[in-house]
Amino acid sequence: MVEYEAVIGLEVHAELKTKSKIFCSCSTEFGADPNTQVCPVCLGLPGTLPVLNKRVVEFAIKAALALNCKIAEYSKFDRKNYFYPDLPKNYQISQYDLPIAANGYLTINIDGKEKRIGITRLHMEEDAGKLIHSNDDISRADYSLVDFNRTGVPLIEIVSEPDIRTPEEARVYLEQLKAILQYTEVSDCKMQEGSLRCDANVSVRPKGSSKFGTKTELKNMNSFKALQKALEYEINRQIELLEKGIPVVQETRTWNEQKGITETLRSKEEAHDYRYFPEPDLVPLVIDREWVEEIRKSLPELPSERKNRLIRDYGLPEYDAEVITSSKALADFYDECVDIYDNPKEISNWVMGELLRLLNANNMEVEDSPIKPKDLVGLLELQKKGVISGKIAKQVFDEMFETGKDAETIVKEKDLVQISDVGELEEIVDRVMEANPKSVEDYRNGKERALKFLVGQIMKETKGKANPQLVNEILKKKL
Amino acid sequence: MEVTKLKAHEIHEMLKKGEISVRELTEAFLDRIDRIDDRIHAYITVTREKALEQADRVDAGIRSEGNTEVLAGIPMALKDNLCTKDIKTTCSSKILYNYKPPYSATVVEKLEEKGAVMLGKLNMDEFAMGSSTENSGFFTTRNPWDLERVPGGSSGGSAAAVAAGEAVYSLGSDTGGSIRQPAAFCGVVGLKPTYGRVSRYGLVAFASSLDQIGPITKDVRDCALVLKAIAGYDPMDSTSVNAPVPDYEKILDDNIKGLRVGIPKEYFGSGISSEVKDRVREAIDVLEGLGAICEETSLPHTEYALPVYYIIAPAEASSNLARYDGVQYGYRNMEVEDLISMYKTTRSEGFGPEVKRRIMLGTYALSSGYYDAYYLKALKVRTLIKQDFDRAFEKFDVLVTPTTPTTAFKIGERTKDLISMYMSDLLTVPANMAGIPAISVPCGLSNGLPVGMQIMAKPFAEDVLLKTAYAYECHRGFEITAPELEVF
């Protein structure tokens, strides 16, 4: 039986978070009312001309340098011609044969092994608008409306070499790319808002072969999970075809999330002829080397460097460091905590455990967390001082997340202060032992479990506030 | 003397002396449009109320602040591909029959700031594609010298309006000769500035790498005045050049002693009418008489200019005109059920035959598999044409040629024979290819019809161009004015 391997290349679009659009001064803010962030230029009205936003070039160079690309000395824009109602000029200003950057790479970590994925090119272009279909579905729509707010929002497209071999590698590559774009602060990379989008080219071939198989292009994968699942499905589909002796058809396919399958979108024959030609309304770009070096110097610490720093300086396990540095916002959160509370491992436990659990459950980003670093540290300090127990701390954390109040307020309001008064605790212990003579006897007869039950009863009596260490001591003494 | 016959600098003197008010002046022009435009058909839209409002504003300005801008209060009109805020801008196309831009072109704003009074918008070939205004989606403009003849194009309305005294001056646009050719046909002065001299922001694009806005005027002095007003860098147009704008009017004098004039022989070939050649040679004699040194020269790639133009211009146009799809503005076929049918019917019904022809030509030239053979090759030849001029301007200050191969032709004469129509741009296209400035100045009559002399100079040498044209105009020894139309 032939063993197959997949060959995968990714095309990633990231919206740059410049304040204004790529060719006009309209705001790029997400979520405004439809068609409130538009002007004659981004609406493509007759007679208007694009003027390049220099910040876009700066951001693109920054991203390209972080991806180890070579920055072109001479670059230009081209028109990509196709008709679609979300594209007001019916051409997109993009870059064709002279992109701003090329020949880079990105290193991913798979099962503890490093692998380098080549980056073919990185180029700048304008985003299109958004169609809103009546009845929420183009196939059932009576009419469609266009929102041009997104039209002209700057994008970079990053094309990888076909160096990716598994769906997992593809997901990790995308996660790593996202982290780099966030670290360099050029993009928010929010997949659910569409500021990070990914298409994949995939083919399969017998393992060991150096020839490429026929590829398909996959679109519409709106999450990391979707990317991995779509690739898994598509690779299996192609292998099954080949095993039946049916050739793979070169085409564009779309991922159907509900059905969990890829479906034909358009065949090779239906593919557009984009009729690229140099954009005559813009002058070619000559990139000043000094400017590139200035941008290089301004590059922040990148994910892999930061990971190594956390391991080196704080003694974190590699796994912890990897999780924490996967997102810049999370790593910033962590660093801010460590700055004011000197117990790196305890913080990493809380951040990776409680914080991520609640964020994921609520589908929230770290930036939106109602608990800020100083809030978490406030809680940890209460615990350290013995004001509250560890168990209560978790309860308080949930409460903080829900209400946005700080730990001290919640502890006061809910009267959660730990009972550490020996006299008071002795009284309670006596009461519980009196009420549970059987358990007392069981323990004395050597049943260790009975002790746990009694502690539990005491905790119940005190609503968890009893200092567990003291309770244990008192109980053992009395027994 | 009727004010509608006067030049801007003459009217300015009258306004300064208080001999006439801007309102009276504006009314005189609106009157004239009322009386004769049903025979000339230069105007698509007459903005009577706005013109009178602006006239009153300028009158008040003259009274209170002594506004001394030369163009203040001067009635003018614009080719209908220059965007005017809240005023219809149709490009003489059905697809934009109702389109009112929400903004004004940079040149329009500049003229408005100077107190110009806009009378209205002028007819043209649809989207500036044509040489006679016969491709207008609405009607054909008549040549004031002979109503059976075309005024030239595409800025035919702009040239006819000035020649017929329906505006003191006008603005046109020139992609392959669209200012100079109609100026020659109508016996007025027309200037295509250096590419990048005047902002294109608000000029509805035909071929972006060739389009330039320029003045059409009754004489060279007015031409200098208007160019000065509209030229200069515009942050809204990345292709506009940040070079100082000289005071073109101040530098005008008739001393061209020692001026080196090249006469490219390719522009006097077999396709050019002998009468036209004679008039231009007589004009060259005038220049020589003024001390210019005239010498024959060669621009060897001239014959390729027209074919290259018909690749590059349609290629850019096919992309520029893609936006007219019925989605946002302009004409839309409302009967159809789906998107593709909406595109197809809207564009089939909205565009005229010449526009469709060029969209198809351009689409073809850019198609994968043909790009290298057509578009890329054309770009290379364009470079050769440019180099011809670079070499010529090492030796000469200006080049002098006829503007057009013939005088104005009859309406309908060339509509069936496209090549003969395209040939009327033969001598004007090279300047667009090279991005250099070129002016057409009337240099006599042939069978009662005006002949134009074209003068070309190197990039940003509009001053040299205007000086040469001015010296000629001062010493040619005759005035050229269209015959007065009989008023019924």
Residue in A50, A88, A276 nearest the CB of B328 = A88
- The pLDDT value recorded for residue A11 is 98
Using a CB-CB cut-off of 8 Å, the residues of chain B touching A280 are: 207-209, 239, 316
- Cα A457 off chain centre by: 44
Q: What is the mean pLDDT of chain B?
A: 96
Residue B154 annotated to the active site: yes
- The pLDDT value recorded for residue A457 is 83
Residue in B81, B325, B375 nearest the CB of A90 = B325
Contact A48/B201, CB-based, under 8 Å?
A: yes
How far are the Cα atoms of A237, A440, B455 from residue B302, in angstroms, in the given order?
Answer: 60, 113, 16
Given a cut of 70, whether residue B1 has pLDDT beyond it is no
Contact B208, B323 (CB under 8 A): no
Alpha-helical (H) ranges within B41-143 are: 48-65, 106-113
Contact A46/B105, CB-based, under 8 Å?
A: no
Contact B202/A50, CB-based, under 8 Å?
A: no
Using a CB-CB cut-off of 8 Å, the residues of chain A touching B371 are: 275, 277
**How many A-B residue pairs are in contact by the CB < 8 A criterion?**
97
- Catalytic site residue from B21, B132, B178, B440: B178
Contact A153, A130 (CB under 8 A): no
Residue in B89, B238, B375 nearest the CB of A277 = B375
Residue of A nearest to B127 (CA): A46
Domain extents in chain B: 3-262+395-475
Unique residue bearing structure tokens 């230009």: A76
- Residue A334 CB coordination number (10 Å): 29
- b/e for B448-485, b at 16 or more Cβ within 10 A? ebbbbbbbbbbbbbbbbbbbbbbbbbbebeeebbbeeb
Residue in B236, B322, B368 nearest the CB of A49 = B236
Quote the minimal CA–CA distance from A48 to chain B in Å: 6
Contact B339/A91, CB-based, under 8 Å?
A: no
What crossing angle do the helices spanning A289-297 and A54-66 adopt, rounded to 10°?
60
Using a CB-CB cut-off of 8 Å, the residues of chain A touching B89 are: 46-47
Q: What is the mean pLDDT of residues B69-89?
A: 97
- Catalytic site residue from B79, B110, B192, B277: B79
Using a CB-CB cut-off of 8 Å, the residues of chain B touching A50 are: 238
Given a cut of 90, whether residue B299 has pLDDT beyond it is yes
Quote the minimal CA–CA distance from B360 to chain A in Å: 13
Contact B101, A45 (CB under 8 A): yes
Domains of chain A: 4-294 (no CATH), 300-413 (no CATH), 422-478 (1.10.10.410)
* A202: CB partners within 8 A, 6+ apart: A6, A7, A8, A9, A215, A216, A218, A231, A234, A235, A238
pLDDT tens-digit series, residues B366-409: 999 999 999 999 999 999 999 999 999 999 999 999 999 999 99
Residue B424 annotated to the active site: no
Alpha-helical (H) ranges within B338-376 are: 339-350, 353-366
Using a CB-CB cut-off of 8 Å, the residues of chain A touching B344 are: none
Per-residue DSSP letters for A201-254?
EEEEEETT--S----EEEEEE-SHHHHHHHHHHHHHHHHHHHHTTPPPPPEEEE
Contact A81/B322, CB-based, under 8 Å?
A: yes
Residue B136 annotated to the active site: no
- Backbone torsion region of residue B460, taken as left when φ is above 0, otherwise alpha when ψ lies between -120 and 50, otherwise beta: left
Element (H, E) at A98: none
Residue in B200, B318, B366 nearest the CB of A49 = B200
- Chain B residues whose C-beta sits inside 8 Å of any chain A C-beta: 81-83, 89, 91, 96, 99, 101-103, 105, 200-205, 207-209, 235-239, 315-316, 318-319, 322-323, 325, 327-329, 339, 343, 363, 366-368, 371, 375
pLDDT tens-digit series, residues B173-191: 999 999 999 999 999 999 9
User: What's the pTM?
Assistant: 0.90
Q: Best interface-test mutation with B: which of A275, A282, A283 has the largest number of B CBs within 10 A?
A: A275
- Chain A residues whose C-beta sits inside 8 Å of any chain B C-beta: 40, 43-52, 79, 81, 83, 85, 88-91, 146, 273, 275-277, 280-283
Contact A45/B200, CB-based, under 8 Å?
A: no
Contact A47/B368, CB-based, under 8 Å?
A: no
Using a CB-CB cut-off of 8 Å, the residues of chain A touching B195 are: none
Quote the minimal CA–CA distance from B213 to chain A in Å: 12
**Rounded Cα distance, B462 and B464, in Å:** 5
Element (H, E) at B304: helix B302-320
Smallest Cα–Cα separation from B171: which of B74, B90, B87, B80? Answer: B80
The encoded tokens of residue A86 equal 């979300």
Contact A75, A105 (CB under 8 A): no
**Rounded Cα distance, B302 and A320, in Å:** 72
Using a CB-CB cut-off of 8 Å, the residues of chain B touching A90 are: 322-323, 325
Using a CB-CB cut-off of 8 Å, the residues of chain A touching B103 are: 40, 45
Burial status of residue A456 (CB atoms within 10 A of its CB: 0-12, 13-18, 19 or more): exposed
* A220: CB partners within 8 A, 6+ apart: A254, A255, A256, A257
Given a cut of 70, whether residue B356 has pLDDT beyond it is yes
Tell me yes or no: is domain B3-262+395-475 CATH 3.90.1300.10: yes
Burial status of residue B138 (CB atoms within 10 A of its CB: 0-12, 13-18, 19 or more): middle
- Residue A312 CB coordination number (10 Å): 10
Per DSSP, what are the bridge partners of residue A71?
Answer: A101
Contact B89/A46, CB-based, under 8 Å?
A: yes
Residue in A47, A277, A283 nearest the CB of B101 = A47
Given a cut of 90, whether residue B485 has pLDDT beyond it is no
Residue in A146, A273, A281 nearest the CB of B238 = A281
Q: What is the mean pLDDT of residues B80-107?
A: 98
Contact B202, B103 (CB under 8 A): yes
Q: Best interface-test mutation with A: which of B96, B204, B327, B340 has the largest number of A CBs within 10 A?
A: B327
Contact B366/A91, CB-based, under 8 Å?
A: no
Residue in B208, B322, B368 nearest the CB of A281 = B208
- The pLDDT value recorded for residue A231 is 98
Tens of pLDDT, residue by residue, chain A (479 residues)? 789 999 999 999 999 999 999 999 999 999 999 999 999 999 999 999 999 999 999 999 999 999 999 999 999 999 999 999 999 999 999 999 999 999 999 999 888 899 999 999 999 999 999 999 988 777 788 889 999 999 999 999 999 999 999 999 999 999 999 999 999 999 999 888 889 999 999 999 999 999 999 999 999 999 999 999 999 999 999 999 999 999 999 999 999 999 999 999 988 877 889 999 999 999 999 999 999 999 999 999 999 899 999 999 999 998 899 889 988 899 999 999 999 999 999 999 999 999 999 998 888 888 889 999 999 999 999 888 878 888 888 889 999 999 988 888 888 888 778 887 788 888 888 888 888 888 888 888 888 788 888 888 888 888 778 888 888 888 888 77
